[in-house]
Amino acid sequence: MAKLILLSDLIENDILLNKIVDIFEGKKPSIAYIPSCSDPDRKYFKTTAEFYNKIGIENVDYKDLDEEYDETVISNIFEYNAIHLSGGNTFYFLHLMRKRGFIDSLRTYVRNGGVLIGVSAGSLLMTSTIELAGYGEDGDLNCVGLEDMKALGLVDFEFLPHWDGSENTEKSISHYAKAKNTTVYLCRDGDALIVTNTKIEFIGDIRVIN
């Protein structure tokens, strides 16, 4: 059973927090945190751990695929109840996933019932392509010269985080969606998509463009 949570940003939202608790059916889950790049001071990791701590989830562990990569530390990652994919540069994150051979493993993890939680870049990785990662003035830079944008392909839509609510963005993405024959979900910070198998639940003001 696929259980995916796609977030735009890590902002507290009581409805979202309650939904996360519900997904774990009242159990005390373990969560493996994968950063998009090394976080030596654990600045972003600490923020994420505190987010989960507030709903009683205390077992959150840092798992680095970048400069601190250690196979012995990573070896048990798929034994965790959930895996959290952080925000950051989406192009570099996908590059790391491929470098460490994690693409197929993550797909299998989700098929076997593992929960995948993504924030911004982490959410984009769940879709079929990360093309929209570079969208707009504040889009990610393709710092690794990535040519193949194919991602995990766990859902049949694309995702645009940090939507500013503007009509201009809607019109621009509408042109993109029609040209690509795809569906794009626009997500504001603080909002989320929850995917359970083929069911998609909106938390907040999600806009569907196709």
Domains in the chain: boundaries: 3-209
Give the tens place of pLDDT for each residue, 47-106: 999 999 999 999 999 999 999 999 999 999 999 999 999 999 999 999 999 999 999 999
Q: What is the CATH number of domain 3-209?
A: 3.40.50.880
* pTM (two decimals): 0.96
What is the model's pLDDT at position 115? 97
What radius of gyration do the chain's Cα atoms show?
Answer: 16
Question: Does position 163 have pLDDT exceeding 80, yes or no?
Answer: yes
Residues 167 and 159: beta-carbon distance below 8 Å: no
